[in-house]
Amino acid sequence: MSYVDTLRQWDEAITYADREDLAEALRIFLSIQEPNSKICFDIGCLHLLNQDYDAAEKAFDCSIRKDEHLAIAFFQRGITFYRKERYEESLADFQRAFKALRGNQLIDYKALGLRYILYACEVLHNMALVEAQLGNWEKAQVNLAKALDYKTEAKLNVIDKALQSTLKQKLFKPVQFPSKVLFKPNKNYVAELEKKDYLGKAKVVASVVPQDAFSGFAPLQPQVEDGPARPKEPEVLRALEGEPHTVLFEFVPETSDELAVVPGNIVFVLQKGADNWASVVFNERRGLVPYNYLERLEISLASQQNKGITAPPSRDPPTRPERKPGRTPGGNTQRQESQTTEDSYIVKVCYTFNFAVSVPRGSPYATLIEKISNKLSLPSTVITLSLTSEASEEGVINADTDMETVWSQASGGRITLWCKTEEQTDGTMQKETVLVAIHSYESSNPEDLRFNQGDTITLLSRVNQDWLEGQCNGNTGIFPASFVEDVLYLTINDQAPLSDQS
């Protein structure tokens, strides 16, 4: 069967499905001799609607054989196994679907002809349900806690309700794909199925002058005199959002908000952050890519005449820039992408700025305070931890605290503590680094710290070798390290600072 015949039958079957004549739609689908992965998926969905689970399983098997990266097919076969109470196989398929997401928060299948978005948090939701069916309640809670890292606001209630159910060891409903939603053929290809007469009727022009021996077709005539000297730039290129850049190096994402790209891809940079990360659009998807992996591209067709495709560079890619916890290049805050494992806790510490550390489960106080002390570059003797922001005597955590009581308050492998620093009690002076601005710094980026020449800035942390985070005039933000110079101050109680350079 030719591709045109397959396309025509596929479109006809979708038409019957839209009319809710599912029996006729299934009959036409089954008559296609060489169905592709999407058609096999559609057949499986119709069998699911008819509760013919064996036939649905075979159809999804066929879809996966033809496209082993189709995450939605693994998801639907997992639903099929779940209804057949084959829970181990159902769990394996949901795990494959999650792996096919490659760390992304979602996959939008609209570009492939399926009006559906598969969310990572929903796949983890179903994984948790199957674990619960198998009696593995702790693993179910771990999967739901992981789902919170991938959730969107629209899916928050579903995940929270499921988590509450697992705490009570009660089952909950699975997230199911709407089986009446099917893959549709490309509408542009369908439009080309109708025969078109592009040439029209030929007209022969012959000379009627007796002395003229010429007889034949009239020569082609130019349609426009003095046409444009260069090709017109397509409107679609000028309408694209962002600045076009060429990808120089392959980038493999490590978190759900980063985007996988390879050399030669064309991405559109929406915003470049101060930490060398860029928010880009590629194939209708947004994500983060290191800006030093990109090179600005002149997209005008006229400027690209007589230019070939530039070969990807052979040198090694630059070092991956560090990501500040809870910060994106666009200035928006986000959840820190640290994965909670079964043998560790993620401790969020609320200080002048927020940060997170990972400690093994059941860690003693000494291990916890050492982690935080190293993070702040301060001695542990000047650090006070508390379970509440008030740091009352009941909530203070110290060497005498029963840490089992502290860790019992962790939820989903995460706990929030408050941190305050005090002067050392032995009468010595506590040092803090103060910077002096040698240039004024202005920026429209909301995460940047603006200051004038001569202002003093308290250093909070070092983002990387080029950027620092600090406080100035009651504001907190990041700024270029080259705009300031170090001046070390010694502070005694509330007295004025004394420079150690004097």
pLDDT digit string, tens, across residues 448-458: 888 998 899 98
Q: What percent of the chain has pLDDT over 70?
A: 72
Quote the CA–CA distance of 240 and 114 in Å, as a whole number: 24
What pLDDT is attached to residue 343?
75
Q: Which tokens is 24 given?
A: 């006729």
What pLDDT is attached to residue 337?
38
Q: Are residues 16 and 54 both part of a single domain?
A: yes
Alpha helices of 249-364 — where are they, by DSSP H? Answer: none
Quote the CA–CA distance of 325 and 248 in Å, as a whole number: 27
CATH number for the domain that contains residue 20: 1.25.40.10
Model pLDDT for residues 413-429, shown as the tens digit of each residue: 888 888 888 743 344 44
Q: Give 430's pLDDT tier (boundaries 50, 70, 90).
A: very low
Q: Give 200's pLDDT tier (boundaries 50, 70, 90).
A: low
Residue 328 lies in a domain: no
DSSP 3-state of 363 = coil
Asked if 458 and 471 count as a contact pair (C-beta separation under 8 A), the reply is yes
Q: Are residues 61 and 163 both part of a single domain?
A: yes
Residue 309 lies in a domain: no
Asked if 155 and 142 count as a contact pair (C-beta separation under 8 A), the reply is no
Q: Are residues 404 and 488 both part of a single domain?
A: no
What pLDDT is attached to residue 400?
87
Q: Are residues 58 and 134 both part of a single domain?
A: yes
Model pLDDT for residues 358-399, shown as the tens digit of each residue: 888 888 999 999 988 888 878 888 888 888 876 566 788 888
In the sheet where 498-499 sits, what is the strand order? 475-480, 467-472, 456-462, 430-437, 484-491, 498-499
Q: Are residues 63 and 42 both part of a single domain?
A: yes
Q: What is the DSSP letter of 56?
A: H
Boundary residue ending a domain (248, 267, 301) = 301
Q: Are residues 28 and 139 both part of a single domain?
A: yes
Q: Are residues 131 and 32 both part of a single domain?
A: yes
pLDDT, greater one: 342 or 413: 413
CA atoms within 13 A on the CB side of 213: 0
Model pLDDT for residues 271-292, shown as the tens digit of each residue: 887 778 889 888 777 888 998 8
Residue 228 lies in a domain: no
Torsion of Cα atoms, 208 then 209 then 213 then 215, to 10°: -20
Boundary residue ending a domain (167, 201, 228) = 167
Q: Is the pLDDT of residue 95 over 60?
A: yes
Q: Is beta strand 344-350 parallel, antiparallel or unpaired with respect to 414-421? A: parallel
pLDDT, greater one: 458 or 355: 458
Q: Which residue has the tokens 């493999």?
A: 252
Residue 486 lies in a domain: yes
**Domain extent at residue 410:** 344-421
Sign of CA dihedral 188, 191, 195, 197: negative
Q: What is the DSSP letter of 441?
A: B
Residue 327 lies in a domain: no
Residue 186 lies in a domain: no
Q: What is the DSSP letter of 320?
A: P
Q: Are residues 259 and 389 both part of a single domain?
A: no
What average pLDDT does the chain have? Answer: 77
How many domains is the chain built from?
4
Q: What is the DSSP letter of 251?
A: B
Q: Are residues 383 and 460 both part of a single domain?
A: no
What pLDDT is attached to residue 491?
44
Quote the CA–CA distance of 179 and 201 in Å, as a whole number: 48
Q: Which tokens is 216 given?
A: 């034949």
Model pLDDT for residues 33-54, shown as the tens digit of each residue: 889 999 999 999 999 999 999 9
Residue 12 backbone dihedrals phi, psi, to 5 degrees:
-65, -40
Q: Are residues 91 and 9 both part of a single domain?
A: yes
CATH number for the domain that contains residue 487: 2.30.30.40
Residue 212 lies in a domain: no
CATH number for the domain that contains residue 413: 3.10.20.90
Q: Is the pLDDT of residue 65 over 70?
A: yes
Residue 219 lies in a domain: no
Q: Are residues 276 and 396 both part of a single domain?
A: no
Give residues with Cβ within 8 angstroms of 339, minimum separation 6.
Answer: 146, 149
Q: Which tokens is 329 given?
A: 């290049």
Q: What percent of the chain has pLDDT over 90?
A: 21
CA–CA–CA angle 500, 501, 502 (5° rounding) = 90
Q: Are residues 273 and 358 both part of a single domain?
A: no
Boundary residue ending a domain (389, 421, 453) = 421
